[in-house]
Structure 1
Amino acid sequence: MHLLIACAGSGRRMGAERNKLLLEVSGRPVLAWTLDAALASESVRWIGVVGQEIDRPDIEALLKAANPGIPVQWIQGGDTRQDSVCNGLAALPPEAQSVLIHDGARCLVDPALIDRCSAAVDAGAAVIAAAPVTDTIKRVDGDGVIQDTPDRSVLWGAQTPQGFPVEQLRQAHAQARGEGWSVTDDASLFERLGWPVRVMESSPSNIKITTPFDLTIAEAVLSAR
C-alpha cells in the first residue's frame, strides 16, 4: 500500500507559531508518533510526506530518526489540503494502484486500522475511517438558533486514513479542479460524483490534534498505552 501523510498545515487553531505536527506530545513531536504507526503497519510499503518547505528540515530530520525500512519521499505541499493531496497523487510511483491518505495530526492511529483500510482498498473499495457520533448534534443557523436535531444513529465522525483506487481519485481531483469544487476531505469528492465510500469503524481515540486540549488527550492516551 502507498500512503500519503498530509503535513502541510499550520498551528493557527493551536495558537502555535509553527506547524503543530512539530509540537511535542509525551516528549516527541506529534509527527514522530504518526510515523511510528505508519511504519508499524504490515501493509504500507511506501510513504509520501506532503509538507511545506519551511518545515522540510525538521520533518526530514524526523524521517531520518525514524530509520524507515521502506521508501519515504518528501513531497512539496500546496496552498490547501486539496492542492497538497493533488501534489501527493502526482508524486506516487508509477506502479501505485491504491493509496491511503492520512492526516499527520492523527498521531494516535492504530496500525491495525491502517491495515484494515488497506485490505478494503486493495479489494477495490473506497473507504474512510470513522467513529459513530455519540453526542446529540444540533443544526444551528447563522444567528445561533437551533434548527433541528439530526438522528445521531446515522451520523459518523470522519477520520483518516481514507483510501481510494489511485486512478479514480485522480479523476475526482481533476473534475474538482475543472468545476472549482473546494472540499475538506477526499471522500467528499466521491460523494459529489455519486461514487460509494464505505465507512471503516475506528476508535474515538483516533483524534486529530487541533487544539492545546487535544495535546492533553493524546498525552493521556499515549501514557495509557
Structure 2
Amino acid sequence: ARPFFSEKLIPAMLRLLKKEKAVIPVKKINKTVKMVDSGYIKNTVDRDVLRTAETPQGFDFRCMEKLYKKKNIDRIRPTDEAAVFESAGYKVRVIEDPDFNVKVTEREDLEEVERFMKKRKRG
C-alpha cells in the first residue's frame, strides 16, 4: 500500500478518467538502470523515459470488469492493474506525482514511514 499520496491526486485522476479508461500516478526515476543478460550489463536504460508506477490507480470499472473476466489474464501475469489494460491494447494515461508516497510492504518500510511522520510533525 502507498498511504501518503497527495490530496490533489484523486481529483486530478477523476478529471482524467472522464476521458480515459486508465490513469495511474508515476514518479521519475533518479537512479541509473542497467539491463543485464547472463551476468553482464547489456546497456544502460535512458531514465528520462522511465517512471515507477504508483498507487492509487484509477480505471473505468466496466472496462476493468470485462478485462478481468477474460480467460487469458493469468497468462500475462500482471504486476498491477495497469498491465492488464496495457496487455489488452489500451493506452494508460500517467500523471506525475512528485509527493512522498512510500510503498509499505515490508517491516523496513515502516521505519521510513516513521521518519517521514516525525519530520512532518516537526514541520
TM interval, shorter chain, is 0.7 to 0.9
Mapped to 2, the partners of 1:120 and 1:224 lie a distance apart of 32
| Match of residue 63, structure 2, among 161, 168, 182 | 168
Gaps of at least 5 residues in structure 2 are none
Instruction: Supply the distance in 2 between the matched residues of 1:172 and 1:118 (Cα, whole angstroms).
Output: 20
1:138-157 correspondence runs (5 A):
138-141=34-37, 143-157=38-52
The percent of aligned pairs where both chains have the same amino acid is 35
> Which digits, 9 at most, give the CA deviation of each residue in 1:116-170, with x for residues without a partner?
212211x1311001101111111123x4322221111000000111111111111
Residue segments in structure 1 that go unaligned for 5+ positions in a row: 1-104
Match of 1:197 among 85, 92, 97: 92
The residue number in structure 2 matching 1:108 is 4
| Residues 32-51 of structure 1: pairs in structure 2 closer than 5 A | none
Cα separation, 1, equivalents of 2:109 and 2:98: 15
Taking the aligned partners of 1:169 and 1:203, their CA distance within structure 2 comes to 27
Match of 1:120 in 2: 16
Contact 1:139 / 1:147 at 8 angstroms: preserved in 2? yes
Could you tell me which residue of structure 2 aligns to residue 183 of structure 1?
A: 78
Whether contact under 8 Å (1:131, 1:202) holds in the other structure is yes
Alignment partners' CA distance in 2, 1:116 and 1:205: 17
Q: Matched residues in 2 for 1:139 and 1:211: separation?
A: 26
What CA deviation, in whole Å up to 9, does each residue of 1:74-129 have, x standing for no partner? xxxxxxxxxxxxxxxxxxxxxxxxxxxxxxx21212222122212211x1311001
Residues 215/202 of structure 1: CA separation in 2 closer, same or farther (3 Å cut): same
Asked if 1 retains the 8 angstrom alpha-carbon contact of 2:6 and 2:99, the reply is no
Match of residue 20 from structure 1: none
Determine the C-alpha separation between the residues in 2 that align with 1:135 and 1:204.
17
**1:130 aligned to 2:26?**
yes
* RMSD (Å), alpha carbons: 1.6
- TM (norm. structure 1) is 0.48
Q: How many residues align?
A: 117
Shift of 1:212: 3.2
Please give the secondary structure, in 2, of the residue aligned with 1:138: strand
- Which one-letter code corresponds to 1:219 in the other structure? E
- Highest RCO, 1 vs 2 (Cα 8 Å, sep ≥ 6): 2
Contact 2:25–2:97 at 8 Å: present in 1 too?
Answer: yes
Q: CA deviation at 1:204?
A: 5.5
